Amino acid sequence: MNRRSLVALSIAMSVAATACHKSAPPATQPTPTPAPATSMAPPPPPAAAPSSAPVIRSEVDPNAAAAAATATMNDRIHFDYNMSDINSADQSRLDLKAGLMKQFPALRILITGNCDERGSDEYNIALGMRRATAAKDYLIRVGIDASRIDVSSLGRQSPIDPGQTDAAYAANRRDEFKIVAGSQSLRGR
Amino acid sequence: MTSRVCLAVICLTVLTGRLAAQADSNRIRLSARGTSDAQPGILVLSGVGLDSVRAIIQRDLTYSDRFFVPPIPDSIATLHGQLNPTLYQDTGAAWLVELEPAIHGVDVKLYDARTGALRNQATVAAPLDGIKDDRLAIHRISDQIVGWTGGVGIAATRIAFVMGLKQVWRIDSDGANLVRVSPADDLAMSPAWSPDGSLLAYSVYRDAVWTLYVQKLAGGAPMRVPNSSAGSDYGPAFSPDGRTLAFAHGAEKGSDIEVADLVKMCCAHRLTFSGALADNVTPTYSPDGNRIAFMSTRSGTPELYVMDNDGTDTHQLVSSAFDANDKALPSYTPSWSPDNAQVVFGRDTQAGGAGRRLFSVMIRSGQVVERSNSGQNEDPSFAPDSRHVVFKSRRSGREQLWILDLESGATRQLPTPGVAQVPAWSRTLGPNP
């Protein structure tokens, strides 16, 4: 692993420590900050400048760094009811993903849109696709090649929270991100 | 006194007076109190060994919402010898059904209870145990009886739906015989019946794509439905002749209505072209197959539209609705009645997805009529009689299937062990569905 990669992983770790959601496996979360249950999550802090993150090879566990980067890539974004607009906080989350995708060209991802249970169940598949595509379009706009991003929709068929509260609805209106290729490169291999 | 109370009195009177009355061959006098003011009473009597058949038919006739079926003790309803219809002339019932065992079936007779005259009779092939798929044969007896009285029966039908947000299941119209249809390991959505009931179309989520299949219910591997390009396909509807499948084709830039030729399994093409700006989903055919109603967000709000089956002559089917603050109220999930009288759909009555009720738009007048007034209701699907719809509602606390009689307003639950959604009601099923 070269120094550039280590720096990037360090950034990913520091970002994940403050911005990761409950989508990340608990064992890999640097801090157990619970996810906000609404789409109005506070924006994550800006990524640290590379120069402010000195990294010594011996201090970085490649597995932990890869896990942190994976958590950043997996971090969900959320939507308002019946909308597919990406809010500013989630734009920051997408910027972090874009940074990693630029850093690791082998990364390919699948974005899956999800909805709350309101609205017709079949329309929710269309709406979920629109949400996934909104994230893909943003990543393309910030320089990621479209061929590296697949989109899908589960409609309201895969809720995080089966409840009928506003908080449950907000948690379910989301894009899920999954690395489908290139995850080994995060470990420097 | 209502006819229901009257007939209940009749039953008690029969119970106490039957033997003596029959012994001296006098007509049974059963506190006749006039005819029904709402639903005609119907008495179902059967020979020995047909108790379970009689019970299924009594329930079917109740669920038809066309009759009052008084609860009759087995001791009264079981015939020991030939029925003398004249004994029931004064019961207040309008109809009398006699069931007798026949070779490989049941002899069914329908009498006018007031005159004792035989109105119709038939021998219907049916097993007498009434288990699993054999129940359909008994349901067909019920539908025969309803047909003799001038109606369309809905007993020999099934409802397909998604249970537990996972697989497609089917259940008989009376709530019996729950069977999984789609593969156990995949998510599946949006079932639709072919007009003859032999096929079920549904969408399977595999490799991050919703793919439409048509499955023969008699067996065999599901057949993949072609589409025009890569993407997800869901929300299918068979044309009334069974030759075409309309469905939503969703890709990155939105969803359009497509059709595919099911005979040649080819030639999928789009009927709508607004997907880049809007989503178009949930097609439903008019009974003549010439028109397709569907939901579109082309106005910015989910609204119902109708077009010719070639995608031309599109216009809004139902006028837009707004709340007191002028916020648009979305409409969803149209289902076209088999008699072409109306399209039933779900519409929010409050902004933010709340207060979803069922409404009808009457085809001839364009009038919009509210059909339900409690719970979150959506996804209506018409029964063959054009007066019953099955729909999803949360009125019991969780998403379950309910059946509404549009004429009487009567509702009943179709209980399922898991949460239920996207129900589809079959047409009347023949002997080999």
Task: To the nearest 10°, report the CA torsion of A56, A62, A68, A72.
Answer: 100
Q: How distant is the Cα of A188 from the closest Cα of chain B, in angstroms? A: 28
B378 touches chain A (CB under 8 A): yes
Residue B165 has pLDDT above 80, yes or no: yes
> How remote is the C-alpha of B260 from its chain's centroid?
26
Question: Encoding tokens for residue B204?
Answer: 């399977």
ipTM here: 0.89
Can you tell me which residue has the tokens 């910030």? A142
DSSP string, B158-189: EEEEEETTTEEEEEETTS---EE-S-TTSEEE
pLDDT band at B9 (very low <50, low <70, confident <90, very high): very low
Distance between CA B336 and CA B352 in Å, rounded? 26
**Res A32: pLDDT:** 36
pLDDT band at A119 (very low <50, low <70, confident <90, very high): confident
Nearest CA in chain A to B162: A157
Nearest CA in chain B to A110: B208
B248 touches chain A (CB under 8 A): yes
**Res B155: pLDDT:** 98
B198 class by beta-carbon count within 10 Å (0-12 exposed, 13-18 middle, 19+ buried): middle
Contact A157 B330 (CB under 8 A): no
Give A83's contacts (C-beta < 8 A, 6+ positions apart). Answer: none
**Res B11: pLDDT:** 46
**Res A151: pLDDT:** 97
pLDDT band at B198 (very low <50, low <70, confident <90, very high): very high
Nearest CA in chain A to B297: A123
Residue B34 has pLDDT above 60, yes or no: no
**Sheet containing B315-316, strands listed edge to edge, beginning at the edge strand earlier in sequence:** B280-285, B291-296, B303-308, B315-316
Question: Mind listing the pLDDT tens digit for each residue in B169-193?
Answer: 999 999 999 999 999 999 999 999 9
B240 class by beta-carbon count within 10 Å (0-12 exposed, 13-18 middle, 19+ buried): middle
Distance between CA B329 and CA B302 in Å, rounded? 8
Residue A58 has pLDDT above 70, yes or no: no
Distance between CA B70 and CA B128 in Å, rounded? 23
Lowest mean pLDDT among A79-93, B122-136, B341-355, B377-391: B122-136
Q: What is the mean pLDDT of residues B325-342?
A: 96
pLDDT band at A59 (very low <50, low <70, confident <90, very high): low
Q: How distant is the Cα of B295 from the closest Cα of chain A, in angstroms? A: 8
Q: How distant is the Cα of B241 from the closest Cα of chain A, in angstroms? A: 24
Nearest to B248 among A126, A130, A164 (CB): A126
Residues 123-162 of A with CB under 8 A from B: 123, 125-127, 129-130, 133, 136, 150-159
Q: How distant is the Cα of A151 from the closest Cα of chain B, in angstroms? A: 7
What stretch of H or E contains A66?
Answer: helix A62-74
A113 touches chain B (CB under 8 A): no
**Res B122: pLDDT:** 95
Angle of the B135-148 helix axis to the B51-63 helix axis, nearest 10: 50
**Res B405: pLDDT:** 96
- Contact of B287 with B336, CB cutoff 8 Å: yes
Amino acid (1-letter code) at residue B149: T
**Res B87: pLDDT:** 85
Contact A150 B208 (CB under 8 A): yes
Residues 57-86 of A with CB under 8 A from B: 81-82
Distance between CA B48 and CA B299 in Å, rounded? 63
Question: Encoding tokens for residue A139?
Answer: 């990543």
Residue A49 has pLDDT above 70, yes or no: no
Q: What is the mean pLDDT of residues B325-334?
A: 94
Residue B360 has pLDDT above 70, yes or no: yes
**Res B128: pLDDT:** 66
Q: How distant is the Cα of B73 from the closest Cα of chain A, in angstroms? A: 45
**Res B194: pLDDT:** 97
Secondary structure letter of residue B222 according to DSSP? P
Q: What is the mean pLDDT of residues B333-337?
A: 98
Distance between CA B393 and CA B369 in Å, rounded? 18
Taking alpha carbons only, the member of B84, B106, B80, B81 closest to residue B96 is B84
